[in-house]
């Protein structure tokens, strides 16, 4: 049996499908119904993959701590960028 665990980010919804980002910006489309109940764009999902001969199991669980950590990182980056913005019109 082979087990591995990854973090995937719920990037967006497109109709009945969810687009998730894996490592190295690889995108995966899944039916929305396979996501944990209440999953939202920006959520980090802990994905466990268990593979054996003849069968595989994929489990997706919303990782609240990872989601919160990533949201805090984004807020900090936005604050830094806002602090560097001189304002006014962009001149080309």
Write the pLDDT tens digit of every residue in 38-89. 999 999 999 999 999 999 999 999 999 999 999 999 999 999 998 888 888 8
Residue 85: the pLDDT is 85
What pLDDT band is residue 24 in, cutting at 50, 70 and 90?
A: confident
User: Which DSSP category does 35 fall into?
Assistant: S
Size (the chain), residues: 92
Fold for the domain defined by 2-84? OB fold (Dihydrolipoamide Acetyltransferase, E2P) (2.40.50)
What's the half-sphere exposure (Cβ side, CA atoms, 13 Å) at 70? 15
Residue 30's pLDDT band (cuts 50, 70, 90): very high
Confidence at residue 1, expressed as pLDDT on a 0 to 100 scale: 64
pTM flag (> 0.75): yes
């Amino acid at each position: 049996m082979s087990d591995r665990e990854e973090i995937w980010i719920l990037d967006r919804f497109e109709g009945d499908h969810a687009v998730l980002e894996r490592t190295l910006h690889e995108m995966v489309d899944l039916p929305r119904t396979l996501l944990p109940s209440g999953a939202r764009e920006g959520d980090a999902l802990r994905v466990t993959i268990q593979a054996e001969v003849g069968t595989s199991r994929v489990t997706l669980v919303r990782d609240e701590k990872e989601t919160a950590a990533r949201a805090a990182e984004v807020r900090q980056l936005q604050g830094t960028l806002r602090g560097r913005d001189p304002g006014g019109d962009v001149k080309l």
